[in-house]
Amino acid sequence: MEIPFAESYKIKMVEPVRKSTREQREQWLKEAHYNVFQLKAEQVYIDLLTDSGTGAMSDRQWAAMMLGDESYAGATSFYKMKDTITQITGFEYVLPTHQGRAAENVLFSVLLKEGDRVPGNSHFDTTKGHIESRRAFAIDCTVDIAKDTQLEAPFKGNVDIAKLEKELAENHAIIPFVIVTVTNNTAGGQPVSMRNLREVAALSKKFNKKVVFDSARFAENAYFIKMREEGYKDKSIKEICREMFQYADAMTMSAKKDAIVNMGGFIATNRQDWYDAAKVKGIVYEGYLTYGGMNGRDMNALAVGLEENTEFETLETRIKQVEYLAQKLDEYGIPYQRPAGGHAIFVDAPKTLTHVPKEEFPAQMLTIELYLEAGIRGCEIGYLLADRDPITRENRFDGLDLLRLAIPRRVYTNNHIDVVAAALKNVFDRRESVTHGVKIVWEAELMRHFTVELEPIG
Ligand code: F0G
């Protein structure tokens, strides 16, 4: 008999999860204005809102926390973190920040000005927020195949080189840099190939433009390169990461994902001019250069987390769990962004709730239905998250409308995944009866999905 696959860890500490009744959930959701961000965590049974800061640290990470150096300046913890980052990425200058968006804020404060254009592959919402709040424009140059959720392709996160070239040729004077998000979260946790990274770097160089990687899930991206791209199957994840970062001038990092810490982030680069400019902003917004919004103990945990999560077995365990959920959905015929992404499954809401018009936010409605069904909290990555066009103020309905089921690292077992799949099947089976969605009662001007207040229609 073939020995089955099992996790690359065993469990040493546990936390109870809470069930609830449908009546309770109906009441709670109403109180939360039909926005799952406004639910209390204790009202959630299985929380797939995000994989960000929700992972379980290892015993080695907890041990490293005890050795944290909390010195204001020059802490050993900073140097441990910096040395690990340098080893993995090749970047010598490291500026800590309290999380990924803070890294964006600090770096973009020095690189961006009003009217600029920043091409990239499906900028994440905070990235887009930090661009648009500076009255600059995020130009999406993702490959078109990313929009076809049913198409199987290995690298649906890629930048469309022709689109990028056109944008660079037409607007090079107002493009300060190109940004590549690895993996491409918004397009479904889809990876970017090494070949694509290489081509983006070459094209940007031709136009004398720098490249920044939004690196939140770079290790998962490296895993996919190893598994799917010719020439990489015998390379280690760390070798692949080193090569990936050769094609970037700088990185912003949300360490809450692939460094498996609950809070933290950084900027890293080999450009001294960028570092020198950014460090001034870093001190103003985040804190002194050797802690930037992080505790010494957190920097220690980050160093260990990065080291662990750039090992093949750790990534394999994680991504196989995401694939496990995908296999269940295949069994039930539920449409999702194919193939399974690195950190999440993204259910195609308009293909599921076919009777809910786009103006009534199908993915949000699916999020609501799944919560009501079994207390599972997913997250809308769709028309609400897309915000309004900054100029016309119209809703942006041109992208995908997805329910994201993000799987925290090392937190749930496949039994929990079975519950998620069964609950989603129940919603799917009664999809014909869901004919209405929600309407917006109140919304913020930017990044509205976090705080939006909604009401069910009908
Ligand atoms: N870039 C990407 C690709 C992200 O996915 C995120 C966060 C950020 C930047 C910002 O990092 O949260 O540390 O400030 N994504 C989380 C998510 C929130 O749920 O996908 P942060």
The tens place of each residue's pLDDT in the chain, 458 residues long, gives 999 999 999 999 999 999 999 999 999 999 999 999 999 999 999 999 999 999 999 999 999 999 999 999 999 999 999 999 999 999 999 999 999 999 999 999 999 999 999 999 999 989 999 999 999 999 999 999 999 999 999 999 999 999 999 999 999 999 999 999 999 999 999 999 999 999 999 999 999 999 999 999 999 999 999 999 999 999 999 999 999 999 999 999 999 999 999 999 999 999 999 999 999 999 999 999 999 999 999 999 999 999 999 999 999 999 999 999 999 999 999 999 999 999 999 999 999 999 999 999 999 999 999 999 999 999 999 999 988 988 899 999 988 999 999 999 999 999 999 999 999 999 999 999 999 999 999 999 888 999 999 999 97
Same domain, 263 and 346: no
Predicted structure pTM score: 0.97
| Catalytic annotation present for 125 | yes
State whether 29 and 113 are in the same domain: no
- Is residue 9 a part of any domain in this protein? no
Residues 74 and 34 in one domain: no
- Print the domain residue range for 166: 59-308
Burial of 18 (0-12, 13-18, 19+ CB in 10 A): exposed
* Residues 290 and 331 reside in one and the same domain: no
3-state secondary structure of 190: strand
Inside any domain, residue 395: yes
Q: Are residues 145 and 171 in the same domain?
A: yes
- Is the CB–ligand 1 distance for residue 185 below 6 Å? yes
The residue annotated as part of the active site, out of 34, 45, 91, 124, is 124
Of 308, 323, 341, which residue sits at a domain end? Answer: 308
Q: Is 52 in the pocket of ligand 1 (CB under 6 A)?
A: yes
Cα 257 to ligand 1 centre (Å): 8
| Backbone region of residue 292 per phi and psi (left: phi > 0; alpha: psi in -120 to 50; beta: other values) | left
Sign for the pseudo-dihedral over CA of 64, 70, 76, 77: positive
Residue 156 designated active-site: no
* Contact call for residues 145 and 153 (beta carbons, < 8 A): yes
> Which residue has its alpha carbon closest to ligand 1 atom 18?
52
303 and 322 in one domain? no
Among residues 370, 368, 367, the alpha carbon closest in space to that of 421 is found at: 370
Residue 13 in any domain: the answer is no
Instruction: Choose one of 243, 273, 308: the last residue of a domain.
Output: 308
Q: At what angle do helices 296-309 and 312-332 cross, to 10 degrees?
A: 70
Of the residues 128, 257, 343, 416, only one is catalytic, namely 257
> Is 394 found in the same domain as 296?
no
101 lines ligand 1 (CB under 6 A): yes
Ligand 1, pocket-test mutation among 51, 107, 108, 126, most atoms within 8 A of CB: 126
**Residues 85 and 231 reside in one and the same domain:** yes
- Residue where one domain finishes, among candidates 276, 308, 340: 308
* 449 is annotated as an active-site residue: yes
Same domain (yes/no): 219, 273: yes
Q: Are residues 329 and 234 in the same domain?
A: no
Is there a single domain that holds both residue 294 and residue 422?
no
Q: What distance in angstroms lies between residue 419's CA and the mean position of ligand 1's atoms?
A: 26
| Residues 184 and 291 reside in one and the same domain | yes
Domain assignment present for residue 438? The answer is yes
Q: How many domains does the chain have?
A: 2
